[in-house]
Structure formats: C-alpha cells, structure tokens
Chain A
C-alpha cells in the first residue's frame, strides 16, 4: 500500500507543500504516548496520533515512520510542519477519529506494526 492509497482511505489532506505519494507504507500504529511509539514500533509504518507538537515528527523520524496522520482534523503547529518538511516526513490531517481510522486501515489490509507486550 502506498501513501496515496492511505490518504484515500482516511480521506486525508496532505499538509506538506510536496509529498511523494508513491512511498510504500508497510504497517500502522496508533498512539498518543511518544514513549509507546518508541517502545513498540516497527519501521516503515504510518503513525496515527492526536498530538501535533514538533516532538511527534522527531519521534516518528527516530522510530523510522514514513508518514504521520493527525486524527480528528487536527492541524499541526507551524514549527511541527516546518520540521516535517525539512526532514521529509509527510503529514496528513484526517477528519476521522483514532478508532475509525485504525479500523479503516486494518480492514484495507494494512498490518499492525505495534509489537505486543511480551507475555510473562
């Protein structure tokens, strides 16, 4: 699935001036806790989040995400967009909530890239 397919599925709006729509997205993760994102993610996924501060882009970059979707139509702060554009991280705003978006992407065949907590 590439970024263009994802944008269509979430009915999202790309926010960066230029976005490579052909970039392949391998999986998805939904989280508002950046430490969870760092702890549980696998590379080459899309991050669904309600947070819009610059740390979201940094976290996504460190954890090797390929795009960020802001849920519930949230718009990022100006610094967030500036860093994202500089670091080539696509930002997308979708009008839908976290649950709906996870459901849409999962149903379309996008695997979960959240590592499970190891069972004891």
Chain B
C-alpha cells in the first residue's frame, strides 16, 4: 500500500544546499508533513453521508440536495458506490426535460475515490492531480464509508497539532511537577551509575538510561541531546581508559544539569593535551570500534556550557561538566 516513488522536486533536491539543518528545523518544519503521513483518511473524513440509490427519480434526488444544501450525492447500491450525481448531472437531465429519469441514468460512473486506510497525503495528491474538491472514501471491501474535502484535511491536521500541544504541556508539567512540589532551598535529583573498565558490551547503557530519565523529566529535546552526547563520551572514556572503572553522576536541578565522571586511576599527566583535537592514547582495539580518535573531550566541550578536569597521576581523574537550562518563560517569549 506504499505510494509509488515520486521524482523529488528541484526544491527538495537543492533547497537545502549550503544551509545547515538545525535540530529545530528537523523537529518543527516537518511536523505537518509528518502528520500528513501519520493521519489516516478515516480519521479526518466525514461519515454518515446522504446518499441516493440508482433507482431514485431525479426529482427526489433534487429534494435531498435542496434540503441538505449540498451540490451532489454518492449513488449507492448495497453499500457499494455506483457513481456520483451532482447538480450538473441534474441540469443535463433538465435540458432534456427528463426529470422523471433515475439517478442511475444520469450519474457520473467513473468516480475517483480514496481508501479509508490510506494516509491523508494520498488524498492531498489526488486533489491536486485530479483538480477535485471532494472525494468519496471507500474501505477494504469497496464499501462507501464517507467523504473527504480539503477542509476536512486542514481541520484534521489542526486537531492533531492541538493534541501535540496538549501532550507537550503535560510533558512539561510532569517536569516542573517534581521540582515545584518538593520545597527546599535547593532541590537536586541525583542519578548515579557505576561503570566497569573494559565493559564494552554495556558501554552506553548508562547514557541510554540518562536519556530516558531526562525525557521522563520533561527536559527540552536539545538539552537532552547535548547532555547525552557529553555523558556518553564520558562513559566511554571510563570504559576505555580507567584501571578500575568509575562513577558517572548526573545532578539535575531546574536551572542546570551537572555531570561528573570520577575514577581512581591511572590519572592524566598533561590535561592540556587531552583537549587537543586528535590527541589520543587509545589502543588499536578501541580504534577498531570507532572510538579513540581524540575527539571525545572536544565533543564534550562542544555540548556543555562548562567543563573542568582535574587529574593526578596515580590517584585518578575527575571530570565535571555543566549545562545551564534556559528559563522556560524566557524561551517562550523569545520564540513568540
């Protein structure tokens, strides 16, 4: 049931050239487009139609159109769509003074339809290709189940966006909930993970858990992403470089997130060097896994607002990173 592959337009192929796509773009611009694939025609169509039967005299059909103030009706027999009778068809009959004829005689038989299980993007394409204003909707058994107009699609998308918005509000509420209900001078949620040295199989598990936790807490997607990339690099460093592993700690506060990675050895002799892009002491084994290119700390620095590293050879290393969470209200007014 997949629509046939379409040749991309000039704009789709070249429109993005030279312009870096931000997280924001990827998230927002495409939401309506995404919805046009997600929403099914049956979710937005209008059901419970006025219909006519093929045997119905045109004068009777005309009454249905007049009373309901509509310009056409589907002609249906045993729930199956036989055709559509519009005012234009009735005018044709009037010209021949043939109003006693039946709907079946004057209806348009080759009706373009859409399927109730298709995405609304299919209906949008059909509207454009066939230059039609409304389309009868049929189900898997070819039975007529409703009708769809461009207005129904617009309304369907707006309703879905409203649902999105409400879900977002609930999500944000859940975040503030924890920190607003508990009164203290300074409320901090601490997440703690023990990381084993050399445990590549579980490498990244803690970071995955952090990600889930931050999403649960309703953190902004951009902040979550920055935080997770930084903590993932730190987690891999504990696995790759320490003698006995270490502790990964995340302290979440309403206005900032503090991440730390602490180990007890071997320690780093020259801290300046580890912040240089490309500097690495990783083994061949680690490099084969796609790490150890000397980009870890550079990446972390890029993701966080503050980064500090203290190390003593023979004692261990402590890495502290901090991301400040912008005030929600400030963010909203800036966007608006």
Interface residues of A (CB under 8 A from B): 2, 4-5, 8, 22, 24, 26-27, 32-39, 42-44, 49, 51, 53-56, 58-59, 61-64, 79, 87, 108-109, 111, 113, 115-116
Contact = CB atoms under 8 A, between A and B. Distances in A.
A5 to B, nearest CB: 7
A104 B26 CA distance: 22
A8 to B, nearest CB: 8
Given A62-B207, A109-B8, A111-B16, A35 B233 contact: yes
B208 A61 contact: yes
B5 to A, nearest CB: 7
Contacts of A115: 20
Given A38-B229, A38-B299, A109-B12, A58 B207 contact: yes
Contact of A58 (B26, B34, B204): B204
A55 B200 CA distance: 8
Contacts of A34: 289-291
A2 B34 CA distance: 10
Interface string B17-28: 000111100110
Nearest to B300: A38
A51 B225 contact: no
Given A42-B22, A43-B27, A51-B290, 18 more contacts: A4-B2, A24-B30, A26-B26, A38-B299, A39-B298, A39-B299, A43-B23, A51-B289, A55-B200, A55-B203, A55-B204, A55-B291, A58-B208, A62-B204, A62-B208, A87-B208, A109-B12, A111-B21
B229 A108 contact: no
A35 B296 contact: yes
A54 B236 CA distance: 12
Interface of B: 2, 5, 8, 12-13, 16, 20-23, 26-27, 30, 34, 37, 200-201, 203-205, 207-208, 211, 225, 228-229, 232-233, 236, 289-291, 293, 295-296, 298-299, 302
Contacts of A63: 225, 229
Contacts of A38: 229, 232-233, 299
Q: Which of A5, A44, A111 has the most CB of B within 10 A?
A: A111
- Residue of A33, A56, A87 with most chain B CB atoms under a 10 A cut-off: A33
Contacts of A111: 16, 21
Contacts of B296: 35
A43 B203 contact: no
Interface pairs A-B: 10 shortest CB-CB: A58-B204, A109-B8, A35-B295, A34-B290, A62-B232, A51-B290, A62-B228, A111-B16, A38-B229, A39-B299
